[in-house]
Amino acid sequence: MPGWKVTVPASSANLGPGFDVLGLALDAHLTVECEQDQVFSVEVSGAGEGQVPLDESHLVIDTARSIASDAVLNCRWKIHSDIPMTRGLGSSAAACGAGLAAGFLLRSGAIDDKTEIFQELSRREGHADNAAAAIFGGLQAGFQSAENAVGHLPLPFPQHLSVLALIPATELSTASAREVLPNQHSTEAVSNNLAAIPCLIEGLHSGDIENISRGCKDHLHQPYRLPLVSGLKDALLALEAEPLLHGAWLSGAGPTLASFLNSDDLIPGDLHSISGVEQAMSHLAKHEIDSIALNMQVDFEGMRWEVLP
């Protein structure tokens, strides 16, 4: 009986001003192996091990079941994730996307087009930023294209840039981070964000680091979310002030902070040689919050699947 392996990348949303619009796929992945069998079993490793359920209520399997019904119960599932949970790196989009893909494969034996998965994932997520990046890879803009439908636009991204991810050892749920957002914004805040987006896109297209740094500024969500984690605002300021980093933002709902980095400027494997990174980690440590820094490459492929041998 056939089986499949589905791989979905992590993603960083917003990139500063692109609230609920911009998403960038990163090279941490969630992989799901689904082999049809008479006996149902679930094996989980990596992020979430010991925390997530080992039955049909697991997000991946529950999502697949909404597509393929009880066929998911006649499978052996192996789920491995390198994406930290509830850290603003698209873990839920990856899990839900993988579940949708597995469901379609179990139901139909093939996926003809990623678009149907993207549409459904955007509907379940409530916005298209992480969904577009996770499904199509690279830098994406997600948008409402018609009633009850969404679209996506791939945007240029330079091959030489990677992303520094500073990941605090504290969780922050998207729901909690949404609750602090105001229902209305000033005209000035909206105008500043609208002006920042073309600066960011042009900077990424041309390699103009000044425009990249100018374009990562946000006035709509970061001022309200940064105070949710002690030391996070000061950590972001430290990243913004570091000459080797280009712009800095709160990844998704947080608490992960991110910044663009030219990997040629970095001693291999030594992010701590960047003083701004060390200072940012120190600001969090003052509040007894540990953190790790990762140099993450951009995933330009997005979701993929293959038949298991």
- 38-91 pLDDT, tens digit per residue, is 899 999 999 989 899 999 999 999 999 999 999 999 999 999 999 999 999 999
- 234-253 pLDDT, tens digit per residue, is 999 999 999 999 999 999 99
**pTM to 2 decimal places:** 0.95
- pLDDT at position 173 is 85
- pLDDT at position 174 is 84
Assign residue 29 a region (left: φ > 0; alpha: ψ between -120 and 50; beta: otherwise): beta
pLDDT band (50, 70, 90) for residue 272: confident
d(CA 73, CA 102): 12
N-terminal to C-terminal alpha carbon distance within the chain = 11
- pLDDT at position 267 is 58
Give, to the nearest 10 degrees, the angle between helix 91-108 and helix 114-125. 140
H/E run at residue 106: helix 91-108
- pLDDT at position 67 is 96
Checking if the pLDDT of 95 tops 80, the result is yes
- pLDDT at position 172 is 86
Average pLDDT over residues 218-227: 96
- pLDDT at position 226 is 97
Average pLDDT over residues 3-16: 97
Backbone angles phi, psi at 67, to 5 degrees: -100, -45
pLDDT band (50, 70, 90) for residue 269: low
d(CA 100, CA 160): 32
- pLDDT at position 46 is 96
pLDDT band (50, 70, 90) for residue 2: confident
- 115-146 pLDDT, tens digit per residue, is 999 999 999 999 899 999 999 999 999 988 77
Joined tokens for residue 161: 């840039």
- pLDDT at position 268 is 55
With vertex at residue 87, the alpha carbon angle to CA 290 and CA 243, rounded to the nearest 5 degrees, is 70
Q: Share the mean pLDDT of the chain.
A: 94
Q: Which residue has the tokens 């392996």?
A: 5
Backbone angles phi, psi at 117, to 5 degrees: -65, -45
pLDDT band (50, 70, 90) for residue 1: low
Report the b/e string of 149-167 with b at 16+ CB within 10 A.
Answer: ebbbeebebeeebbbbbbb
- pLDDT at position 149 is 82
In 3D, which of 304, 266, 275 has the Cα closest to residue 4? 304
- pLDDT at position 176 is 87
* Burial class for 244, CB neighbours closer than 10 Å (0-12, 13-18, 19+): middle
All structural domains of the chain = 3-155+299-307 (3.30.230.10), 161-296 (3.30.70.890)
- 162-203 pLDDT, tens digit per residue, is 999 999 999 888 888 999 999 999 999 999 999 999 999 999
Q: What contacts 244, CB < 8 A, 6 or more positions away?
A: 261, 262, 265, 266, 274, 276
Q: How far is CA 149 from CA 152, 179, 258, in A?
A: 11, 25, 30
